[in-house]
Structure 1
Amino acid sequence: MIPRPDVFFLPAAGGEQRLCVFHAPSSAFEGTPRGKLLYLHPFAEEMNKSRRMAALACRALVEAGYAVLQIDLRGCGDSSADFGEASWDDWLADVRLGLDWLDTQVPDAPLWLWGLRAGCLLATETLKTLNRPAHLLLVQPPASGKPLLQQFLRLKLAADLAEGGGGKGLMAEMRAALSRGEAVEAAGYMLSSALALGLEGATLTPPSSPQPDSRVIWLELSSRPDAEWTPVAQQAQKRWSDAGLPPTAELLHGPAFWQTTEVEEAPALIEALQRLFGTADAHREAS
């Protein structure tokens, strides 16, 4: 039987709160869970588009005997502050906040940092600061935050064109405003300079001295059943292999649910999680 998730507010600095959802492992698993995962959501509207798939993925992991904590980062979802008040450093602090709570609740289980899209960048940055073994579950990881920021700012260009504007020079204006420390608005989100520049500077690079026995699972989706890894993904995976952290990488067939117009599901992703985390061999490798 799968317990109902525990929804609560986790106290944060400055009297703020972060909305959290804790998924305890299935009651079929007694004693210490097979592992614990901290889920780090995508950026802006991608977070909302991904909620359904995140919930389904949590269920699959819980059924396999893992504990999962979801946390809405500062300015996101029902957590304190507005999106425009958040910075990249705030989000990194929230990752540590979630880890500290998860450690108190599930102290002895192997740790996984689970990122989706921009959440992968938060996960890899955090991994570099941990002085203990931890594993990574990277779903649709970008090579860096720069293209994510560019994609987000283009939403403003698209809106301007739809309203009859020319969009000429708008990207340069937004870039200049961010470099001056000013906020910009796009797609209904006010984006602070501190968050934009932090995201832009984040890269999916491995730690210089990885902990022994750390694992990296790298999953991506493509709408083409015959798709192959892009050169960017191949180069990124090689960097991790060269650093001593060769990823278990799978390219799956499914929709880009984090950006589709309608909420969509990607069954292949759930099946991959069930296969990779649902066996005794996966447990032994992660321990």
Structure 2
Amino acid sequence: MIDLSLKRHIFFLPGLRGPLCAIYYPPVGNSSFPRKAILHVPAFAEEMNKCRRMVVLQAERFAGAGYGVLVVDLYGTGDSSGEFSEARWDVWKADLSAACRWLIEKGTQKVTLWGIRVGGLLALELAFELKDQVDRLVLWQPVVDGRVMLTQFLRLRVAANMIGGRERRESVNSLQDRLLAGELVEVAGYELAPALSVALMQKNFLKLGIPTGISVYWFEVALLEDRPLSPVSQKVIETWRSDGVSVVVSMIIGEAFWATQEIAVVPELVDETTHWLSWGQ
């Protein structure tokens, strides 16, 4: 039971392999479950923790604009059951499908998927499976190619070993070889499973395509004004638009909050996202 007197409702949602910690932000207004709701698809590993403050700020703003918002910690992450070493891509999709069903069962007719970083890739795959329920994708600083993200993630371990002065030299390639051989690899406190790394390497916006009838809101953050989108982002957007997809693109000046040492916020991103989603209702 959702208590409308609460700003947010925390509960555990049944997932494929165990309970998932979930937070539901009811919309400001008379209905606790509007016809349209937003399901958040989180970032990867430590980026998820860095993004938490921004997620709360945006979820509250979405709720103020009349949306119900569901935020879920996926299996093996945050306060949900399981360990990160047990996390699998298909399990995460199943968890998100369960979250979407929960919204639909409460009366939601259309769901907007809001993905951050790798969460954008996960959201896009989910949109294919739930295309009758999903009508929009909101992408914050999306990772276009999972292979590039995995490389960046493994570099964290390589850099930490160099700074620590370890005698055994490692490289991204040697770490990838260990993963392909079936070995768990620890990176920045996260034990990465071979199955998850292989799945991540296979994900790419251009390979996935996009379901018919989906609208996209693409937001990126840069420190400098007038900084263009990366060539690969431009290619994806041009390809989608040529296929008849409506893609709104917005560049925001601010810090890379998903990767900063200290927790950072970009209020302008929250403002811009709320503006476009409110306009597009």
TM over 0.5: yes
Residues 32 and 86 (structure 1), Cα distance of their counterparts in 2 relative to 1, 3 Å cut: closer
Give the match's secondary structure for 2:129.
coil
Equivalent in the alignment of 2:202: 201
Confirm or deny: 8 A CA contact 1:179 1:193 kept in the other structure: yes
Give the match's secondary structure for 1:128.
helix
Confirm or deny: 8 A CA contact 1:2 1:25 kept in the other structure: no
Equivalent in the alignment of 1:251: 251
Distance 2:27 2:225 in 1: 33
Equivalent in the alignment of 1:130: 130
Equivalent in the alignment of 1:53: 54
Runs of 4+ in 1 over 6 A off after TM superposition: none
Deviations, residues 195-254 of structure 1 (Å, cap 9, x unaligned)? 111111111248667333x31110110011221222111111112112221310111111
Distance 1:196 1:254 in 2: 30
TM norm structure 1: 0.90
Distance 1:134 1:182 in 2: 39
Distance 1:23 1:47 in 2: 19
Equivalent in the alignment of 1:9: 12
Which one is further off, 215-224 or 29-38?
29-38
1:19 to 15, 18, 21: 21
Equivalent in the alignment of 1:90: 91
Confirm or deny: 8 A CA contact 1:3 1:26 kept in the other structure: no
Residues 123 and 46 (structure 1), Cα distance of their counterparts in 2 relative to 1, 3 Å cut: same
Equivalent in the alignment of 1:146: 147
Give the match's secondary structure for 1:9.
strand
Give the match's secondary structure for 1:196.
helix
Residues 276 and 52 (structure 1), Cα distance of their counterparts in 2 relative to 1, 3 Å cut: same
Confirm or deny: 8 A CA contact 1:5 1:21 kept in the other structure: yes
TM norm structure 2: 0.92
Equivalent in the alignment of 1:235: 235
1:53 is displaced (CA, Å) by: 0.3
Equivalent in the alignment of 2:264: 264
Structure 1 counterpart of 2:45, one-letter code: A
Distance 1:226 1:43 in 2: 28
Distance 1:192 1:224 in 2: 36
Distance 1:277 1:209 in 2: 19
Matched, 1:70 2:71: yes
1:107 is displaced (CA, Å) by: 2.7
Distance 1:209 1:22 in 2: 27
1:92 is displaced (CA, Å) by: 1.2
Unaligned runs of 5+ in 2: none
Give the match's secondary structure for 1:147.
helix
Distance 2:209 2:41 in 1: 22
Give the match's secondary structure for 2:237.
helix
Equivalent in the alignment of 2:221: 221
Confirm or deny: 8 A CA contact 1:210 1:244 kept in the other structure: no
1:31 is displaced (CA, Å) by: 7.9
Unaligned runs of 5+ in 1: none
> What is the Cα-based RMSD across aligned positions, in Å?
2.0
Confirm or deny: 8 A CA contact 2:210 2:240 kept in the other structure: no
Deviations, residues 37-58 of structure 1 (Å, cap 9, x unaligned)? 1101100000000000000000
Deviations, residues 133-156 of structure 1 (Å, cap 9, x unaligned)? 521111111111111111110010
Confirm or deny: 8 A CA contact 1:206 1:240 kept in the other structure: no
